[in-house]
């Protein structure tokens, strides 16, 4: 499958997806949102892919936001549809069944931060800037920013970022749990690759179980989440990977998981 706005490369069970509009700071227009959705669906179904890394091309931006030039001419109905398109993409990333890592190499603003927040893990360059600046345009977040931000960082941080429209640096983003790892720009890709390779070597069905438990449990009452976890835990005992992992541990050998 070929894409006009994406570069995709598979390295050792890790799919690297780069949004490739550096002249537009990788802004998300309709075509790019649709291509990303197709790519996530394709990679989710590919047994060779165990981890997906999502990043932006060029030295300046992960994604600097939605494409304002395209948005400027939208009617109210078209804007609602554009929001739905973006939200459907974010849901497809959250629900694809594989760990998706956002490698934030520069600006992650507006739709860019919303894209990063849909990923399971966010790794940022120390020079990155993150924010929800929509109020500066007379808008509000439209791709899930108001909802995922409050779930990741709490009400106070969500209100601060969304009401002020001011970006924060990577150090502040780490402090408020918006990102989980920060590296020097020159080390970002190497460190992200190490993390992705480490996760890709683990049991794919167990990884999916963790993703499902945390995503479902975060929205459920504790007793409901605990019951879901117990059922998922039991289900792992039906997998070949559980036998491989436990036997390798008992023999003090590395496990080579089959994904079955």
Whether 111 shows a pLDDT value over 90: the answer reads yes
Q: What number is the average pLDDT over the span 212-227?
A: 92
pTM for the whole structure? 0.94
Q: What is the mean pLDDT of the chain?
A: 95
So what's the pLDDT on residue 222? Answer: 94
Give yes or no on whether 6-200 and 204-250 have one common fold. no
Active-site annotation holder among 134, 186, 229, 240: 134
- Does the annotation mark 229 as catalytic? no
Work out the pLDDT band at 2, boundaries 50, 70, 90. Answer: confident
- Residue 251 burial by Cβ neighbours in a 10 Å radius (0-12, 13-18, 19+): exposed
What percent of the chain has a predicted confidence (pLDDT) above 90?
Answer: 90
* Cα 188 from Cα 230, distance rounded (Å): 36
- Does the annotation mark 134 as catalytic? yes
The CATH code belonging to domain 204-250 is 1.10.12
So what's the pLDDT on residue 93? Answer: 97
- Fold held by 6-200: 2-enoyl-CoA Hydratase; Chain A, domain 1 (3.90.226)
Q: What number is the average pLDDT over the span 104-110?
A: 97
So what's the pLDDT on residue 238? Answer: 94
Work out the pLDDT band at 66, boundaries 50, 70, 90. Answer: confident
Contacts of 144 (CB under 8 A, 6+ apart): 86, 87, 90, 114, 117, 118
Q: What number is the average pLDDT over the span 106-125?
A: 98
User: pLDDT digit string (tens) for 187-209?
Assistant: 999 999 999 999 999 999 999 99
Whether 59 shows a pLDDT value over 90: the answer reads no
Domain ranges across the chain: 6-200, 204-250
Q: What number is the average pLDDT over the span 44-57?
A: 97
Whether 259 shows a pLDDT value over 90: the answer reads no
Active-site annotation holder among 9, 70, 94, 114: 114
């Amino acid at each position: 499958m070929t894409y006009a706005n994406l570069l995709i490369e598979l390295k050792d069970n890790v799919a690297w997806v780069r949004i490739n509009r550096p002249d537009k700071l990788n802004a998300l227009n309709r075509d790019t949102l649709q291509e990303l959705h197709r790519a996530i669906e394709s990679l989710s179904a590919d047994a060779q892919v165990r981890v997906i890394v999502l990043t932006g091309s060029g030295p300046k931006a992960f994604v600097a936001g939605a494409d304002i030039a395209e948005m400027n001419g939208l009617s109210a109905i078209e804007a609602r549809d554009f929001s739905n398109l973006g939200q459907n993409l974010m849901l497809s990333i959250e629900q694809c069944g594989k760990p998706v890592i956002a490698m934030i190499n520069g600006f992650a603003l507006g739709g860019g931060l919303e894209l990063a927040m849909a990923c399971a893990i966010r790794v940022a360059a120390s020079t990155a800037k993150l924010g929800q600046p929509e109020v500066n345009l007379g808008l509000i977040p439209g791709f899930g920013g108001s909802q995922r931000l409050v779930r990741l960082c709490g009400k106070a941080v969500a209100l601060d970022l969304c009401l002020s429209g001011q970006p924060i640096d990577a150090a502040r983003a780490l402090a408020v749990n918006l990102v989980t790892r920060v590296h020097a720009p020159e080390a970002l890709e190497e460190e992200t690759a190490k993390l992705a390779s480490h996760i890709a070597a683990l049991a794919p069905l167990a990884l999916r179980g963790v993703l499902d438990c945390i995503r479902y449990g975060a929205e459920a009452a504790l007793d409901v989440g605990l019951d879901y976890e117990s059922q998922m835990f039991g289900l792992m005992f039906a997998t070949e990977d559980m036998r491989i992992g436990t036997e390798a541990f008992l023999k003090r050998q590395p496990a080579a998981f089959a994904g079955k």
